Chains A and B, each alone.
Chain A
Amino acid sequence: MDAIEALSLSKRFGTIQALNQVDFTVSEGETFGFLGPNGAGKTTTIRILTGISAPTGGTARIFGRDIVRDTIAARRQMGIVHETSNIYTDLSAWQNLMFTAELYNVGKKEREKRGADLFELFGLSERRDDKTNGFSKGMKRRLTLAMGLINHPRLLFLDEPTSGLDVQSNLIIRDVIRELNKTGVTVFLTTHNIEEANLACDRVAIINRGQIAAIDSPERLKHTIQSVQSIEVAFDPVSQVHVEDLEQLPHVSEVRKQGDKFRLITEDPPGVLEDIMEYARRHHVHVISVNTPGPSLEDVFIRLTGLDIRTKGVKTVD
């Protein structure tokens, strides 16, 4: 049985078509990424799948339960970690967790044991009785995730789980997602961090303007745009190299400055490599490193959402 079935989901707000005939399925045990630019329809989709909002067309089922007609039974299967760390800052961490457990009808003994285990897992045990208004952003996020797991969900909705977090919280949360996946929990992940989706997800869907633009595994998506090749080059920091200079090189379609490196998008990497070395000689600048990375999931995302190019071999929706 699929964990999620979205069948021709549509949502209209007045004259705005927020979702238009969105179709996808998420298998049980899968980690599924849901990517899209702001306003693409990610939040609307999550609100429909969690039963907060009703679709104006189509249906959605959670483990076979219709989310509109059988909302409560469908919600019992899921845990939700909202984009904002929505905790009660006037309550202690423990009170927050126990309140959520009561909402999900977790028995007293079970919720206390599960709560202690989750606090241990997320490194919150020492602060369990502190009010959460003094918590760091990372601690609040970890508590939110613990609250999402208190009812042993079979399906976990994670909305931007690691956005803006410190390294420790990031690592803990990523590790927990991996462990959840191993135990068969289905994860529905929305994120702006494309690399995170690339590393964590079995499949990703890219949504744009309320429609699914592509659904596939990250690697298959990348292979579909092999024409996007690039050279990544780093110059000596004292060298004065400008993006505009590199854009003048033949066969370079785009130059992106990425930290101390430049990424030159081209269809002719060997030719451009020669041109870069020639440029370095002429301008007396030193090349520190050169790489020829393949297309990233970010390239796929930009292609599908920014340039709106349909690519061969990807399951696209026109």
Chain B
Amino acid sequence: MTDPGEWCGQVCTELHAAWAIAKKDILIYYLKPNIIVSGMLFPIFMFLAFAIGRPEVPAVMIPGLIAITILFSASSIEPVSIPIERRMKTFDRLLSAPISLHTVVLGESMSGFLYSLGIAFVPLIAGLILFPTPIVGFAALIAGLVLTSFCFATMGTLFAAYPTESPGDIMSMLNLVRLPLIFVSGVLIPLEQIPQIGQYIAYFSPLTYGNDLIQAAFAGDTHFNPVIDIVMLLLFILAFQFVANRLYKKYND
């Protein structure tokens, strides 16, 4: 496909199909009980478990709560929807449609992204109304919310590539990654206070950069330059998308 017009047409077609997949997921899965529990209630309880009784609570921890909420909500849709669709054989519809596998992965990730973006406003608005948590960088906030949401939605889609028809199988694997991420990414404990080995691991966690960017929006006090946070989150998104594409290809062959 060398003609630029044809190329643009194909890109538009693929984006339209990705949006159709996202809309379908929104209609079907947003109100499923297991998604509400893992995407909305779980991060709130996680936060409360660490916040209650601590002196700096809650204003200072609002960015962390937003980051945790995004981590859990963004990565909760696809690990539920894709195994169910495998069981119902509806996933074959997507795999046999005249669209690329990248579009399927993108469309699935978009529903998690939008869900997470909506849920993230709950701690954000709560922070603004109930506690003195002024936003000092709107651009960092928007970039932080969008990129972190998309990054973890793609991570959820990546995990959902595992060829099972049971959402529980994927959720178990996902929690093995999500829970440790909270402790090594500077969300609940500042990076400077965790052991050296933990700080090295933190460099490989997308939550580190997402949390750092959101922290920049609130306090302006960050571990990395926001540009580095943005670049790292983009790299994680590309890597997750690439690996997810390869895995779906491999497991559905």
- A: residues with CB less than 8 A from B are 50-54, 72-73, 75-76, 80, 82, 84, 86-91, 95, 99-100, 102-105
- Interface presence of B90 (CB below 8 A): yes
Question: Which chain A positions have C-beta within 8 A of B96?
Answer: 50-52, 75, 80
Min C-beta distance of A18 to chain B, whole Å: 11
Question: Which chain A positions have C-beta within 8 A of B95?
Answer: 52
Min C-beta distance of A103 to chain B, whole Å: 4
Question: Which chain B positions have C-beta within 8 A of A88?
Answer: 24, 28, 88, 90
Question: Which chain B positions have C-beta within 8 A of A86?
Answer: 88-90, 92-93
B88 in contact with A89 (CB, 8 Å): yes
Within 8 A of A (CB), among B5-27: 10, 13, 16-17, 20-21, 23-24, 27
Within 8 A of A (CB), among B74-105: 88-90, 92-100
A104 in contact with B98 (CB, 8 Å): yes
A90 in contact with B98 (CB, 8 Å): no
A91 in contact with B97 (CB, 8 Å): no
**Measured between alpha carbons, how far is A103 from B94 in the docked complex, in Å?**
8
Min C-beta distance of B235 to chain A, whole Å: 28
**Measured between alpha carbons, how far is A72 from B101 in the docked complex, in Å?**
10
A103 in contact with B253 (CB, 8 Å): no
B89 in contact with A105 (CB, 8 Å): no
**Measured between alpha carbons, how far is A102 from B90 in the docked complex, in Å?**
15
- Interface presence of B252 (CB below 8 A): yes
Indicate the member of A51, A87, A99 with the most B CB atoms within 10 Å. Answer: A99
Min C-beta distance of A286 to chain B, whole Å: 51
* Interface flags, B95-128, vs A, CB<8A=1, else 0: 1111110000000000000000000000000000
Chain B residue nearest in CB terms to A54: B253
Given A82-B89, A86-B90, A72:B24 Cβ within 8 A = no
Q: Which of A76, A80, A90, A102 contacts B16 (CB 8 A)?
A: A102
Question: Which chain B positions have C-beta within 8 A of A53?
Answer: 252-253
Q: Which of B10, B89, B99 contacts A103 (CB 8 A)?
A: B99
Chain B residue nearest in CB terms to A72: B98
Min C-beta distance of A256 to chain B, whole Å: 34
**Measured between alpha carbons, how far is A272 from B93 in the docked complex, in Å?**
54
Question: Which chain A positions have C-beta within 8 A of B16?
Answer: 102, 105
Question: Which chain A positions have C-beta within 8 A of B10?
Answer: 72
A91 in contact with B99 (CB, 8 Å): no
Min C-beta distance of A299 to chain B, whole Å: 33
15 more contacts with CB within 8 A, not counting A76-B98, A88-B28, A103-B20, are A52-B92, A52-B95, A53-B253, A54-B253, A75-B98, A82-B92, A86-B89, A86-B92, A100-B93, A102-B16, A103-B17, A103-B93, A105-B13, A105-B17, A105-B98
Question: Which chain B positions have C-beta within 8 A of A104?
Answer: 97-98
Min C-beta distance of B240 to chain A, whole Å: 23
B24 in contact with A84 (CB, 8 Å): no
Min C-beta distance of B30 to chain A, whole Å: 11
**Measured between alpha carbons, how far is A26 from B17 in the docked complex, in Å?**
30
Chain A residue nearest in CB terms to B253: A53
A52 in contact with B252 (CB, 8 Å): yes
Min C-beta distance of A145 to chain B, whole Å: 14
**Measured between alpha carbons, how far is A95 from B16 in the docked complex, in Å?**
16
Min C-beta distance of B21 to chain A, whole Å: 8
A72 in contact with B27 (CB, 8 Å): no
Question: Which chain A positions have C-beta within 8 A of B100?
Answer: 72
Question: Which chain A positions have C-beta within 8 A of B17?
Answer: 102-103, 105
**Measured between alpha carbons, how far is A95 from B253 in the docked complex, in Å?**
29
Chain B residue nearest in CB terms to A87: B90
Q: Which 4 A-B pairs have the closest CB atoms?
A: A102-B20, A75-B98, A86-B89, A103-B97
A–B Cβ pairs within 8 angstroms, 24 of them: A51-B96, A52-B92, A52-B96, A72-B10, A72-B98, A75-B98, A80-B96, A82-B93, A84-B89, A86-B90, A86-B93, A87-B90, A88-B28, A88-B90, A91-B27, A99-B20, A102-B16, A102-B17, A102-B20, A103-B17, A103-B93, A103-B97, A105-B17, A105-B98
